[in-house]
Amino acid sequence: MLTLITWNIQCARTPDDGADLDRVVDRVLAFGARFDILLLQEVGCGLPARDGRPIGDQFAG
């Protein structure tokens, strides 16, 4: 059976309005779920975080 997870990461937004893609990856792995396909929505590239800091190219990350 194919297992698929989809998650809207909202540009990897953090509680302090920054952005941290590594945190998102850690959370996905912490679920402990095994999946074949992971779909991430609202991945950012070239946009600032809500606090104005650059988020860089999350696709490359």
Stretch 24-48: mean pLDDT: 83
Confidence (pLDDT) at 32: 73
Q: What is the pLDDT of residue 42?
A: 86
The helix/strand/coil state of 10 is: helix
What pLDDT digit, counting tens, does each position of 1-32 carry?
898 988 898 888 888 888 888 888 888 888 77
Given a cut of 80, whether residue 49 has pLDDT beyond it is no
| Residues in the chain, total | 61
Residue type, 53: R
> Which two three-digit tokens encode residue 38?
């992971």
Residue matched to tokens 């590239």: 45
- β-sheet bridge partners, residue 44: none
